[in-house]
């Protein structure tokens, strides 16, 4: 009963701490660590010992899977060189560097134990780095590299740790080390791939979202246990299975299953991620107490802890610049046409926050190891130090170095373009189908498709501050759904209709309301000229470059007809100004149909993107 009550207290502390952190604008992970440290010294709070098995088997597989299944396999493959250099090369480099520093300060600890603590503190945490990176809006490529690195580096670190611990008791040869790495990598990847193929075979046969989600809960643990059983990397098995299943999800699962699985895993990841940081803080009292009781001089303890923290930070910075510019030599980015600036590389080097895997792995070091208490405190110092020093300074550094976050306007333009291209494919399929339509169903389908596309285009900006048609529709329809729900609840209270029927109707209303919310995000205010290329350019876009639009901009047809436009477009063939498709008149499209002039340009301020009517591409 006491343990159950303590778990409830932990969950309540997580929820309260997260809410408070959001209101204060402070990173929730750091606030939870501080809360844990303070709580560990309070009387009555039980002493929490973070057992390695609990973390490596209970927490790590679901956390890795939750991240992997949401990671783009395409982006991962596009950045595989920097990811592998960081997740393998940097981990080995840090292991050796920290081992050298620790052995220099504590010669009696032995080389094997020194390298063991180096392996412990080498891998940045999957949760810490990406949580901070996404919160402050780092460039998408940087976030992808951090995600990919943090998914794979635990495997390298744990294999290095296992080898170092084996060397504490008996010597190991270079061939044994190479064999361990090979077995861990190939075996883990093979287990993950086999599990993916098994799940991919039977998953399309599961149509119940609850059963499908239950399968996803089993996958990370099955992958981890199966790989560890053959002495391969369970971490790598979980990552491979998660990446492949996430990539193939649109083909293997129903829409309801994907929605249900995504919601459940977001909830699980939220609780586990924040639980991790709270547990890190709760270790503080007994770790410090063991060091005090060990009798090791305070100056030596402080020196080892600070030297280890400094080595972890500096070694990463020393590695990333030569690796990025001598080995990778990155070319121009597709979105900007420019090479990544040095500031991006520095931010990548500075975002090396450690987490719970480091602390859990430290407890694997054998109890008989000399200075074990100091090594545990050094691991705790690295976790807390990197989270606070780098985690708190990362937003400030990104701002001072002018690191460019993803542009929401460019994202909005890409989203609208992709939806338009998808609609074009749907129209082509519609023309191939054979059916009779005496009830006008096709017109209704086209209307709903257009409404979705118009909402996407309207996010790019409007001619004034008035509601767009999609915003007006969303406001009115949401009020109507509220009235419908109130009436259904009145009927439910009367008890005249089956509760199953009432629940089904309420679910239908909830689904429609959620669809309205999904298509009505906050309108974006442009911060600069919006230039975007989808990657599918065409000859027409090449023939019509961007032009400067001067003078008064207005849709004359709208003025003549007494209509209000939403946004304006200019034909690059003749200069005609017309309103967009979201406007009642749709005069820009009317102009294209009358003249077949292929390319128009946005006539809105701070927008100079172009649209090809023929090929449905933007530039």
- Contact (CB, 8 A) for 402 and 343: yes
CA nearest 28: which of 46, 12, 14, 42? 14
Helix (H), strand (E) at residue 424: helix 408-432
Q: CA–CA separation, 122 vs 158, rounded Å?
A: 10
Angle at 151 between CA 146 and CA 157, to 5 degrees: 105
Closest C-alpha to 419, from 465, 464, 467, 470: 470
pLDDT in tens, 348-382: 888 888 877 887 788 888 888 888 889 989 998 99
Strands 568-571 and 599-602: antiparallel
Q: Output the six-digit token pair for 555.
A: 């849709």
* CA–CA dist 470, 432 (Å, integer): 30
Backbone region of residue 164 per phi and psi (left: phi > 0; alpha: psi in -120 to 50; beta: other values): alpha
In the DSSP assignment, the letter for residue 602 is E
Topology at the third CATH level for domain 539-618: Herpes Virus-1 (3.30.40)
User: What is the helix (H) or strand (E) element at residue 58, kind and residue range?
Assistant: none
d(CA 154, CA 160): 10
Contact assessment for residue 358 and residue 379, using Cβ atoms and an 8 Å cutoff = yes
Number of C-beta neighbours around residue 94 at 10 A: 28
For the residues of 10-67, what is the DSSP string, one character each? HHHHHHHHHHHHHHHT--HHHHHHHHHHHHHTSTTPPPP---HHIIIIIIHHHHHHHH
H helical segments located in 91-208: 91-105, 111-121, 126-136, 140-169, 174-182, 188-202
Say what the alpha-carbon torsion angle 577, 581, 585, 588 is, to the nearest 10 degrees. Answer: 30
Token readout for 334 is 């597709």
Q: b/e map of 178-203 (b: 16 or more CB within 10 Å)?
A: eebbeebbebbbbbbeebbeebeeeb
Q: Which of 535, 531, 37 is nearest to 286 (CA)?
A: 37
At 201 the pLDDT is 93
In terms of Cβ atoms closer than 10 Å to its own Cβ (0-12, 13-18, 19+), residue 576 is buried
Contact 193, 154 (CB under 8 A): no
- Whether the Cβ atoms of residue 187 and residue 240 lie closer than 8 Å to each other: no
Predicted confidence (pLDDT) per residue in 166-217, tens digit? 776 655 666 666 777 788 888 989 999 999 999 999 998 888 889 999 999 9
What pLDDT is recorded for position 534? 47
Report CA dihedral (366, 367, 371, 373) to the nearest 10 degrees. Answer: 110
- Is domain 2-42+50-406 annotated with CATH 3.40.1280.10? no
Burial 368-388 (b: 16+ CB within 10 A, else e): ebebbbbbbbbbbbbbbbbbe
Q: What string of DSSP letters covers 224-250?
A: HHHHHHTTS-HHHHHHHHHHHHHHHHH
Token look-up 């407890």 returns 363
What is the rounded CA–CA span in Å between residue 570 and residue 576? 5
Q: What is the DSSP string of 127-153?
A: HHHHHHHHHHT--HHHHHHHHHHHHHH
How far is 402 from 568, CA to CA, in rounded Å? 32
Closest to 357 (Cα-Cα) out of 615, 605, 91: 91
In eight-state DSSP terms, residue 607 is B
pLDDT at 98: 94
**Tens digit of each residue's pLDDT (9 = 90 or more) over 570-584:** 898 888 899 888 788
d(CA 280, CA 359): 7
Q: What is the DSSP letter of 388?
A: I
Reduced to 3 states, what is the DSSP secondary structure of residue 162? helix
Q: How far apart are CA 230 and CA 227, in angstroms?
A: 6
**Calpha distance 70→143 (Å, rounded):** 13
CA-based max dimension of the chain: 90
**Exposed / middle / buried, residue 223 (Cβ in 10 Å: 0-12, 13-18, 19+):** buried
Domain spans in the chain, listed from the N-terminal domain onward: 2-42+50-406, 409-431+438-518, 539-618
Does residue 40 sit in helix, strand or coil?
helix
With a CB cutoff of 8 Å and minimum separation 6, the contacts of 306 are: 381
**Which residues, given as ranges, of the chain have pLDDT below 70?**
1-2, 126-136, 168-177, 325-340, 406-409, 458-466, 517-537, 552, 606
Q: Dihedral (C-alpha) 467, 473, 476, 477: value to the nearest 10 degrees?
A: -150
Residue carrying structure tokens 């790495």: 181
Give the angle 516-521-527 at the CA atoms, nearest 5°: 160
Find where tokens 């009145």 sit. 490
Cα Rg for the chain, rounded, in angstroms?
A: 29
Our measurement of the distance from residue 86's CA atom to the centroid of its chain's CA atoms, rounded to an integer in Å, reads: 18
Q: What is the pTM of this model?
A: 0.80
Cα of 419 vs its chain's centroid, Å: 22
Residue 109 in 3-state DSSP? helix
- Backbone φ and ψ of 499, nearest 5°: -65, -30
């Amino acid at each position: 009963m006491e343990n159950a009550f303590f778990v409830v207290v932990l969950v309540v502390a997580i929820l309260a701490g997260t809410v408070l952190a959001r209101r204060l604008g402070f990173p929730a992970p750091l606030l939870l660590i501080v809360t844990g440290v303070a709580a560990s010294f309070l009387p009555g709070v039980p002493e929490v010992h973070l057992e390695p098995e609990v973390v490596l088997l209970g927490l790590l597989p679901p956390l890795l899977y939750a991240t992997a299944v949401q990671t783009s396999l395409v982006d991962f493959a596009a950045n595989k060189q920097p990811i592998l250099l960081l997740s393998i090369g940097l981990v080995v480099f840090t292991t050796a560097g920290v081992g050298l520093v620790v052995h220099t300060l504590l010669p009696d600890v032995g080389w094997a134990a020194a390298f063991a603590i180096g392996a412990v503190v080498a891998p940045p945490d999957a949760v810490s780095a990406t949580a901070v990176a996404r919160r402050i809006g780092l460039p998408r490529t940087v976030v992808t590299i951090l995600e990919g690195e943090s998914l794979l580096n635990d495997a390298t670190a744990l294999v290095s740790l296992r080898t170092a611990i084996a060397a504490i008791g008996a010597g190991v040869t270079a061939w044994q080390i190479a064999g361990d790495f090979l077995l861990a990598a190939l075996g883990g990847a093979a287990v993950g791939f086999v599990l993916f193929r098994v799940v991919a075979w039977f998953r399309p046969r599961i149509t119940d979202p609850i059963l499908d989600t239950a399968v996803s809960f089993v996958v990370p643990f099955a992958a981890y246990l199966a790989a560890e059983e053959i002495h391969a990397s369970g971490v790598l098995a979980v990552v491979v299975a998660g990446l492949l299943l996430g990539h193939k999800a649109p083909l293997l699962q129903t829409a309801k299953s994907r929605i249900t699985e995504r919601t459940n895993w977001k909830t699980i990841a939220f609780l586990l991620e924040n639980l991790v940081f709270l547990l890190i803080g709760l270790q503080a009292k007994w770790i410090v107490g063991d060091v005090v009781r060990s009798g090791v001089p305070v100056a030596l303890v402080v020196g080892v802890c600070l030297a280890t923290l400094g080595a972890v930070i500096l070694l990463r910075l020393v590695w990333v610049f030569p690796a990025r510019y001598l080995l990778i030599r990155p070319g121009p980015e597709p979105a900007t046409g420019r090479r990544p600036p040095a500031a991006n590389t520095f931010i990548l080097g500075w975002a090396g926050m450690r987490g719970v895997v480091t602390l859990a792995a430290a407890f694997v070091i054998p109890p008989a190891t000399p200075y074990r208490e100091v090594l545990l405190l050094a691991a705790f110092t690295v976790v807390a130090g990197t989270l606070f020093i780098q985690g708190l300074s990362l937003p400030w550094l990104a701002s001072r170095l002018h690191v460019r976050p993803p542009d929401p306007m460019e994202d909005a333009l890409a989203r609208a373009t992709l939806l338009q291209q998808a609609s074009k494919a749907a129209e082509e399929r519609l023309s191939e189908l054979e059916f009779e339509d005496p009830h006008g169903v096709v017109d209704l389908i086209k209307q709903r498709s257009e409404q979705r596309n118009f909402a996407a285009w309207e996010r790019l900006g409007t001619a004034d501050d008035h509601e767009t048609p999609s915003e007006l529709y969303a406001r009115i329809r949401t009020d109507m759904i509220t009235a419908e729900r109130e009436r259904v609840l009145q009927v439910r209270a009367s008890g005249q209709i089956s509760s199953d029927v009432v629940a089904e109707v309420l679910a239908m209303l909830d689904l429609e309301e959620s669809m309205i919310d999904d298509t009505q995000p906050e309108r974006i205010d442009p911060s600069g000229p919006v230039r975007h290329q989808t990657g599918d350019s065409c000859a027409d876009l090449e023939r019509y470059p961007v032009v400067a639009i001067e003078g008064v901009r207005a849709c004359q047809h709208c003025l003549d007809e007494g209509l209000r436009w939403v946004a304006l477009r200019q034909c690059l063939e003749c200069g005609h100004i017309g309103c967009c498709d979201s406007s009642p008149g749709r005069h820009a499209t009317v102009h294209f149909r009358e003249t077949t002039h292929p390319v128009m340009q946005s006539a809105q301020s701070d927008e100079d993107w172009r649209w090809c009517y023929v090929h449905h591409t933007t530039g």
